[in-house]
């Protein structure tokens, strides 16, 4: 019988070194992919917040732009909060907007007695895990404009997007 005396091939030390290097590279790849996924999720969350905020802001701007009989009034007889009320082409008479449980809602005399107390301004599916944090509508009687501000937060309360727009109602104040 002939013995193999070839020196070709890998020694046990070389093979173990190769396996160790592959394990280190695999671990580094796993850590890097976790970072990439985290950054990706953050970018998607920010983009969703921008879409929600800009949609809400544009919807409100259109309502104010085409609204009539716009005035700052008390929200209700029991509350002292001042809100901007108007007659809206979309929602009817004595319309006003408010944030409730992180969602932007509209209430009006025309919606009274319907299935819900309020109507959602932007569809619930647009919120995903986001919420409207800050919302203001302020009237500047000297210039005849309304400033609308909206801020969008994640479920942890971190502000991801904020914006404002100044609108001059076409029908006057």
- Number of helical (H) and strand (E) elements in the chain, helices listed first: 1, 8
Give, for all 173 residues of the chain, the pLDDT tens digit.
566 666 778 889 999 999 999 999 999 999 999 999 999 999 999 999 999 999 999 999 999 999 999 888 877 777 777 888 999 988 888 899 999 899 999 988 777 766 556 788 888 888 989 999 999 999 888 888 999 999 999 999 999 999 999 999 987 66
Residue 117 is assigned to a structural domain of this protein: yes
Residue 139 is assigned to a structural domain of this protein: yes
Residue 134 is assigned to a structural domain of this protein: yes
Residue 22 is assigned to a structural domain of this protein: no
Radius of gyration (C-alpha) of the chain in whole angstroms: 29
Structural domain containing residue 98: 35-167
Domain count, the chain: 1
Closest CA to 161 of 18, 57, 23, 8: 57
pTM for this entry: 0.78
Residue 6 is assigned to a structural domain of this protein: no
Residue 173 is assigned to a structural domain of this protein: no
Residue 11 is assigned to a structural domain of this protein: no
Measure the N-to-C terminal CA separation of the chain; round to a whole number of Å: 108
Please state whether 130 falls in left (phi above 0), alpha (psi between -120 and 50) or beta. Answer: beta
Cα 157 → chain centroid? 11
Residue 18 is assigned to a structural domain of this protein: no
């Amino acid at each position: 019988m002939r013995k193999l005396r070839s020196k070709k091939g890998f020694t046990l030390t070389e093979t173990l070194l190769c396996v160790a290097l592959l394990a280190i590279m695999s671990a580094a790849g796993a850590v890097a992919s976790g970072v990439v996924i985290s950054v990706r999720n953050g970018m998607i969350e920010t983009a969703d917040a921008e879409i929600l905020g800009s949609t809400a802001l544009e919807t409100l701007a259109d309502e104010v732009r085409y609204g009539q009989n716009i005035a700052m009034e008390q929200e209700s007889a029991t509350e002292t909060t001042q809100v901007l009320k108007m007659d809206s082409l979309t929602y009817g008479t004595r319309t006003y907007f408010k944030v409730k449980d992180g969602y932007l809602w509209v209430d009006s005399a025309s919606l009274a007695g319907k299935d819900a107390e309020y109507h959602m301004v932007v569809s619930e599916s647009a919120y995903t895990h986001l919420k409207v944090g800050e919302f203001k509508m302020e009237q500047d009687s000297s210039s005849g404009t309304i400033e609308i501000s909206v801020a969008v937060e994640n479920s942890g309360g971190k502000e991801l997007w904020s914006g404002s727009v100044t609108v001059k109602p076409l029908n006057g104040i």
